[in-house]
Amino acid sequence: MTLRVQILKDKFNQSLGLPFKELLPESVIVQALEELKFKYKRRLFDPFVTLWAFLSQVLDTDKSCHNAVSRIIACLAGEEVEIPSTDTNAYCQARSRLPEKLLEKLFGKAAQSLEQKVTIEHLWCGRNVKVIDGSSVSMPDTVENQEAYPQPSSQKLGCGFPIAKIGVIFSLATGAAVALASDVLSTHDLKLARKLYGFLNPKDVLLGDRAFCAYADLITIKNLGCDAVFRKHQSRKTTTRKGKIIGDCDKLVTWHKPKKCPKGLSEEEFLTLPSTLTVREIYYYIIVPGFRTQRVSLITTLLDTAIYSSLEILKLYGERWNVELNLKHLKTTLGMEILRCKTPQMVRKELYVYLLAYNLLRTLMWTAGTTYGSPPLRLSLQGTCHHFSNFIPELLAHTGAKRLQIFQTLLKIIVHKSVTERPGRAEPRVRKRRPKAYPLMKQPRNQLHKQLQTA
């Protein structure tokens, strides 16, 4: 058993070691396990092998447990050791033994390590910008998942899938995911955001859409030593008559404390809020054909016009769309939109492993971009994932200088796959490919089976 485990650890270290360097070696996992005081037995699927197999599983197009076990067997096929069973029970049990806190901790360490690589030229006005947004993911229709993450109330019982609401903070400089929060589908984005504010660092600038533009939240962000740039919430009327004009389409406005305690805040928190808050409002017009929005009003706590000009803030809000692209990479490119685990605990673990894999790919893109002078955020994440998966056999087959040469080749071809900028691009919101002409499922499966038997 020990020999098989050591062989697998060596192979995974060889395949992950160079691309991800210090982010996920065995020593980082050991340190995280020691911090959690987690004890484990010496078996084939120990935490190291299980985690690496889990990572390869979410990065593969075939995300089945059988495929993950088959990959483990293939790694041992050329060695003079006993080949494990093709049964997936041992691997699935090993995944369930992995502490959720371990995956959360490793995901956070990967994000922090990549953030430390950011230099001053990648910052906005000398500030690190974080982007926040919410989305949703679905999961298998099991009793446990339905209890934790109920399906939408508009769907009949047995005809839908459990759906979880997630909130994610990304780094604008690196594209890496910094923090994650999850809850039931009916949860408002603000409730998830309040779980994520603790992951902000002093001097950060939080960028988001109008769902996050609330009086109490702006004050919370200011109290953390951070600033915010949000789109103005639709419930606040826009007027050009109030406020102190400090520039073209730019003014200082005084907001007053709400008369009633908003939902999601306790009475104690509400009482501690100051009676007024001075914010800066910048508004502009969009005349690009195809854009639904014609006028945008931005609210920010960045009041110094000498350092943060209105034009710089407008450009910054234009970068907010990157969070939509990052979520698309996670949900569509990597396949996180439809999770596979059948219990809420495993669903949360799967989310953390997806985000860990995503951050590792972002690290590889950052290394390639900074090595060969190409903007890391303009590189293709899907192309990076393809190249990395195809280069793993070659990285495993060689050592020393030859393996380093292969790694440099990997970085070079990652840079070749870049995504061009297309400003002002607008496409019609239509679908060309027709869906199959099957009716929607409007009754539980057991009722449909009975109808087939009696037909």
Kindly give the confidence (pLDDT) of every residue in the chain, 455 residues in length, as a single tens digit, with 9 standing for 90 and above: 578 888 887 777 666 555 565 567 778 888 899 999 998 888 888 888 899 889 989 988 999 999 999 988 888 887 888 888 999 999 999 999 999 999 999 999 889 989 999 999 999 999 999 999 999 999 999 999 999 999 998 888 889 999 999 999 999 999 999 999 999 999 999 999 999 999 999 999 999 999 999 999 999 999 999 999 999 998 887 665 677 888 888 899 999 999 999 888 889 999 999 999 999 999 888 877 666 667 889 999 999 999 999 999 999 999 999 999 999 999 999 999 999 999 999 999 999 999 999 999 999 999 999 999 999 999 999 999 999 888 888 877 777 788 888 889 999 999 998 888 877 777 788 889 998 889 888 888 888 999 898 87
Region for 373 from its dihedrals, namely left if φ exceeds 0, alpha if ψ lies in -120 to 50, beta otherwise: left
* 327, 135 contact by CB (below 8 A): yes
**Which residues are within 8 A (CB) of 448 and not within 5 positions of it... i.e. 6 or more apart?**
441
Do the domain assignments include residue 94?
Answer: no
> Domain range for residue 296?
212-308
**Rounded Cα gap, residues 211 and 132, in angstroms:** 10
Do the domain assignments include residue 247?
Answer: yes
pLDDT of 89: 94
pLDDT of 4: 84
Do the domain assignments include residue 275?
Answer: yes
pLDDT of 368: 93
Q: What angle do CA 204, 208, 213 make, to 5 degrees?
A: 100
pLDDT of 183: 96
Strand order through the sheet with 163-171: 177-184, 163-171, 129-138, 205-208, 227-231, 295-300, 276-285, 250-256, 244-247
pLDDT of 226: 97
Q: What three-state secondary structure class fits 379?
A: strand
Do the domain assignments include residue 263?
Answer: yes
Do the domain assignments include residue 304?
Answer: yes
pLDDT of 66: 95
Is pTM beyond 0.75? Reply is yes
**Rounded Cα gap, residues 229 and 239, in angstroms:** 19
Do the domain assignments include residue 83?
Answer: no
Do the domain assignments include residue 376?
Answer: no
**Which residues are within 8 A (CB) of 60 and not within 5 positions of it... i.e. 6 or more apart?**
67, 68, 71, 389
Do the domain assignments include residue 143?
Answer: no
The H-assigned helical ranges of 284-423 are: 310-318, 321-328, 344-371, 381-397, 400-416
Q: What angle do CA 351, 352, 355 make, to 5 degrees?
A: 90
Q: What total number of domains does the chain contain?
A: 1
pLDDT of 127: 95
pLDDT of 401: 85
